[in-house]
Amino acid sequence: MKEVSLEEYQKHLGRAITVAGSEFKIEKPDIRSLQPKKFELQHTTIYSFPDRGDWATHYLNSPYRGNFAPEIARNMILRYSMENDLVMDPFCGSGTTLVEAKLLNRRFLGVDINSNAVILSWNRLDFQGRNNGKIYAGDARNLDKVDSGSIDFVLAHPPYANIIKYSENRGDLSLLNPSKFSEEMESVAKELFTTLKPHKFCAMLIGDGRAHGDVIPIAYNTMRKFIGVGFALREDIIKIQWNCRATPYWRKQSERYNFHLLMHEHLFVFRKG
């Protein structure tokens, strides 16, 4: 792991970076509103957010492929952490978890194997208020700069095997086929179990894929790895997918080849026993 400082991010202002095939101009964000106008804490195991929140810097993230709704991060952080707790996202991407941690007065620790994603995360945190945290370029399978038993809550949104390739970095989990991905997620589970405090929670949003018409249960395979290293499964929340770019294409394919579109993901909540 290599820490990327706020000062290093500032050197990128005015430049453009590329993440997962999308280009982002690194400029100081123009904040419209810091907090959501409407927000309701969810109380069932079905999450559905047709209109994704755009408060703070979340409005900038629509081009980032595979990012998740800030409503998910806010629900999870409010339910499973307290103010001043240390919240870690080992696949921080465009920084959704980190932004919500900052807005909700938590300390944050971000990790991403793509150094450009780390710069993007810092950019999303570039608004008023103290940045009480660190971000590292590193691998979720080797959190060597994170002390054992130091994390209060983990919120992770890993790649779904090789459905979207996030970088060309050797070791990037988004370059692995589903079978190899499942094997490597066991190493991720062990690292998260080690760094998390006893009896604390780890939430993970992950979906499935298809091959030759059949479902590849990426989510359940990952769930088994986490249970296998000692986590207990607290919740299996079904999150409905909305506004997927590829839906029109796959709708036509589903009619041609007779399969259902996968329009849900699993939001697992694990507890360290």
What is the distance of C-alpha 246 from the center of its chain? 20
Say what the pTM is: 0.94
pLDDT at 165: 84
Average pLDDT, the chain: 93
pLDDT at 273: 86
pLDDT at 206: 96
Cβ atoms within 10 Å, residue 68: 21
Tell me which of 46-50, 173-177, 193-197, 199-203 is least confident.
173-177
Decide which of 41 and 164 is more confident. 41
Mean pLDDT highest for which of 52-56, 220-224, 259-263? 220-224
Report whether pLDDT(234) > 80: yes
Mean pLDDT of 50-63: 90
pLDDT at 66: 76
Q: Which domains does the chain have, with CATH numbers?
A: 2-272 (3.40.50.150)
Identity of residue 248: P
**Length of the chain, please?**
273
